[in-house]
Amino acid sequence: MAGSSGLLIPLVAGIIGLGVLAQVLAARLRVPSIIFYLLVGVIIGQPGLGIIGDGTFGGALSAIVGLAVAIIVFEGAYHLRFDRLREAPAATFRLVTVGAAIALVGTAIAVKFAFSSAAVSWNLAFLIGALLVATGPTVITPILDVVPVRDRVAAALETEGIVNDVTAAIIAVVIFETVNPAVASESLLRGFALRLGTGLLVGLIVAGVVYYLLQYVDLSPGDAPRNSRLLVLAGALIAYAGANTIATEAGVAAAATAGMALGNVDHPYEEDIEEFKGDITLLVLSFVFIALAAQLELASLIDVGLAGIIVVLAVALLIRPLLVFVSAVGDRFTTNEKLFVSFVGPRGIIPASVATLFAVELNAAAEEVTGAQAELLGTQADILLGTVFLVIFATALFEGGLARFIAEKLDVIPMRVIIVGGGQVGRALAARLEDRGENVVIIEEEEESVERARNEGYAVEIGDGTDTDVLRSAGAENAKTVVAATGDDDANLLVSQLASSKFGVDRVIARANNPDNVEAFEDLGVRTISSAMATAWAIDNQIERPAIAHWMTDVGRSGDVQEVEVTNPELIGKSIRDVGPMLPDACLVALVSGELHENAEVPTADYILEEGDMVTLLGRRESVRDGMKMVSGD
């Protein structure tokens, strides 16, 4: 369709409207929204109804996409906190270095040998490989929104997406100069260093200026939140445009640098800015993905044929698992977590937008020459665009659509422990729970407590724990335990009731600050711990059994006591006498509880373990942890 001004406005409005509907539908079905963006683009674009075509946006599409990329990359980097990076430091670093190198070289080899055409030179193969290094926040974040994996896994995927978006875009631009005869090529290393350095410098300068200006926004209190939001948005766009003016594609690095720098310093109205940026990002993301998918000609996908399918299979089933397992060697990831990360590697906005731009430039260069060279450039443009979009479509549809199913099959969605109240009690409990490997989220709304909890390395959901939406956002739908640990008994009671009735949490525990409220709590079926009684127990332990009290509770303690369900088939049907030697040294079965007995009891040597029994292990800290894994069959 021709891009007349009379039709352009309703087209843009229609695309945004369809994008919002796609987002709502994706949230309803709990699948990544990119799937619906791509499908909408195909339906209304050249492969489908033809409502949008090459000339719909004229020459403005590349500029629109560029500014949208700036907002998307900035927003993703803004949420990338340094404290989260500590969740998986070694694996994260290797994913964006060794892993990226494996992806680049491996994909280039797959492209070169999948296509028998002489048009696919090594330069073009490495160009496609560079573009397909990028996963990106545009596809990773929607997946993590519906697949609440452990924080260390999410941190690795998010960091990989942000960093690889930047490096892939820069490397691709540098390599493209060796493919496009209309561009004077330069040293690959020099070109990469120039763009990355420019982006880092411009991004830091813009972040510094925006941070300085944010300190003075309060001079107009009524308009301060709005002005803060607009100031940060302008900063993202200026960083991108300024760096791009100096060096092509340095803008991606600048936007990412500015976003990460601002996201990791304290500044006014941070929560307002996060919400605003998230909404803007959803709008531009939906528009850009739909618009780019609509530009794709079906012939481009058909032309790559079997060779393109081979590249998709190599990228998804060979190269991705290889780079993940190499990058995560020796780290804290379980085998199932590595398999999940291997499966989740969809390509996003950077390869789509940059490949489209490169194809346009190659076709433009083909018009400047004649004969075999013109045909070669046209063929290269088709192969570049077709291969990149085929990988994007395949990985987004299959990996994005099946991500939650795969996560459930691999059992990598951890049951969460939610602590409502980030005061001294909440943080002390969180420390003990995280020490034994629980996935803990603290809900707190008081700013000072939030800052203290985050500084101590805990995952914090900002908000009122009595708010259903806040509980849901913290992961209450996937929580095995909710602890109401605030200093307000009324709030603790309401949290307990919501967790039990609204979210069906099996284990809900409340703190009763006033001992007189304990009976009322328990009458409502809430397990309750009285602050006064807990203090009395602690003092009694110090008086009557000081040795075991110090052994279990002191910082750096050597001992531990943990309860675990018997699910290992090798132990079911065996007696305690037989199981004892199978446990690690310095680990004993102290108590057993199960369906046959209401209360826990000290088992005799002849007690036969049954599936579902809960055993309490006592011993040295490391031995107990190993014993828990053995008893549960992990």
Assigned token pair, 77: 């980097």
Band (pLDDT 50/70/90 cuts) for residue 321 is very high
The CATH code belonging to domain 416-535 is 3.40.50.720
pLDDT of residue 255 exceeding 80: yes
> What pLDDT score was predicted for residue 327?
87
pLDDT of residue 373 exceeding 80: no
> What pLDDT score was predicted for residue 40?
81
Handedness of CA 288, 290, 296, 297 (dihedral sign): negative
What is the spatial distance between Cα 230 and Cα 234, in angstroms, rounded to a whole number? 6
What is the spatial distance between Cα 144 and Cα 120, in angstroms, rounded to a whole number? 36
CB 479 within 8 A of CB 509: no
| Section 220-245 average pLDDT | 79
pLDDT of residue 27 exceeding 50: yes
CB 291 within 8 A of CB 42: no
> What pLDDT score was predicted for residue 555?
44
CATH 3.30.70.1450 corresponds to the domain 558-632:
yes
For 471, the 3-state DSSP assignment is helix
For 417, the 3-state DSSP assignment is strand
| Section 76-80 average pLDDT | 73
Q: How many CB atoms lie within 10 A of CB 80?
A: 20
> What pLDDT score was predicted for residue 3?
47
Q: How many CB atoms lie within 10 A of CB 544?
A: 9
Mean pLDDT, the chain, whole residue set: 79
121-180 pLDDT, tens digit per residue, is 888 888 889 888 888 776 787 788 777 787 778 888 888 887 887 778 778 877 877 776
For 225, the 3-state DSSP assignment is helix
> What pLDDT score was predicted for residue 102?
93
CB 522 within 8 A of CB 496: no
Tell which wins on pLDDT, 124 or 557.
124
- Give percent helix, percent strand, percent coil of the chain, each to the nearest 5: 65, 10, 25
The CATH code belonging to domain 4-52+59-410 is 1.20.1530.20
For CATH 3.30.70.1450, list the domain ranges present in the chain: 558-632
| DSSP summary character for residue 517 | G
452-510 pLDDT, tens digit per residue, is 887 776 778 888 888 888 888 787 887 888 998 888 888 888 888 888 888 888 888 88
Q: How many CB atoms lie within 10 A of CB 337?
A: 25
pLDDT of residue 528 exceeding 90: no
For CATH 1.20.1530.20, list the domain ranges present in the chain: 4-52+59-410
| Section 68-90 average pLDDT | 70
Cα 167 from chain centroid (whole Å): 19
Q: How many CB atoms lie within 10 A of CB 265?
A: 11
> What pLDDT score was predicted for residue 294?
76
Q: CA 28 → CA 32, 405, 496, distances in Å?
A: 10, 16, 26
What is the spatial distance between Cα 256 and Cα 76, in angstroms, rounded to a whole number? 8
Quick one: three-class SS letters along 324-376?
Answer: HHHHCCCCCCCHHHHHHHHHCCCCCHHHHHHHHHHHHHHHHHHHCCCHHHHHH
Tell which wins on pLDDT, 248 or 308.
308
